[in-house]
Amino acid sequence: MCQLLGMNCNTPTDVVFSFTGFAERGGRTDHHGDGWGIAFFEGHGLRHFVDHQSACESPVAELIRRYPIKSRNVISHIRKATQGVVALENCHPFVRELWGRYWVFAHNGDLKDFHPRLHAAFRPVGSTDSERAFCWIMQELAKSHAGVPTVEELSITLRELAQRIARHGTFNFLLSNGQALWAHASTLLHYVERRHPFTQAQLADEDLSVDFSSLTTPDDRVAVVVTTPLTTNEAWTAFAPGELKVFVDGALSAY
């Protein structure tokens, strides 16, 4: 099993604090040492980093911890290989382009018997069940809508597609197109919303705390979604099994 981290904000925010705790699970405080990856949207653009070294040892992860890349939508993943060999092409998150936007996807779980029919447009490069599921989602989205739909319309389609895939196994995933962060839980996912008044947060995986009130303005809103809570003193909410939640501008959306 792997671990997921997502962040959605109303203003570009760096993920250094959350990633520092999360990356510790890539080989040090947990056993997810088979590669990792992170993707940051910057407007329509995307920075995408993957490495098959463990997140706690990778020089690229070290860069992420030191270089505060500001983004409104971030997805990260640390991998414990269950299907597919340890290779760069099997590191999440995966990226595809659809309707002139980048789409980023990361998955935690197993979908052993999911072998959908994939047409020409989206094909897996690696050998994971996760990338296969992502390609199928992209294919079905492309069939369902002629251009970029609204977040509300996308959420309806994604909820239906997620249910169909989740019948085949464990399907905790994060997806973003830079406008919103979609998060689906089969078994395990938590989120927290940070907003004014901001307080101090204490990482669970490293002896590190941050006083968000000194780094934020009263208008800032940040939602963080993660496999298991990153901090010890914030109110994390567990997803119910089968739930797909949508985060827009740093807050849980009603869609």
Catalytic residue annotation: 2
Q: Tell me the torsion sign for CA atoms 249, 92, 27, 242.
A: positive
**Stretch 37-76 residues interacting with its own copies (CB under 8 A):** 42-52, 59-60, 63, 66-67
Among residues 57, 6, 16, the alpha carbon closest in space to that of 201 is found at 16
Determine if 117 is a binding residue for its own copies (CB under 8 A). Answer: no
Nearer to its own copies, 87 or 251 (CB): 87
Q: What is the three-class DSSP state of 217?
A: coil
Which of 47, 37, 21, 117 shows the shortest CA–CA distance to 76?
37
User: Please, what is the minimum distance in Å from the beta carbon of residue 214 to its own copies?
Assistant: 24
- Which one of residues 32, 79, 80, 96 is an interface residue with its own copies (CB under 8 A)? 96
In whole angstroms, what is the distance from residue 20 CA to residue 48 CA? 17
Tell me the closest approach of the beta carbon of residue 138 to its own copies, in angstroms.
10
CB of 75 to its own copies, least distance (A): 15
Buried b or exposed e, range 214-224, using 16+ CB within 10 angstroms: eebeeebbbbb
- What is the residue whose two structure tokens read 């597609």? 161
- Single residue of 1, 16, 81, 87 touching its own copies by CB under 8 A: 87
Task: State yes or no: residue 95 binds its own copies (CB under 8 A).
Answer: yes
9 binds its own copies (CB under 8 A): no
Q: Considering beta carbons, is residue 86 or 151 the nearer one to its own copies? A: 86
Both structure tokens of 67: 């270089």
- Residues of this chain that interact with its own copies (CB under 8 A) are 42-52, 59-60, 63, 66-67, 87-91, 95-102, 120-126, 142
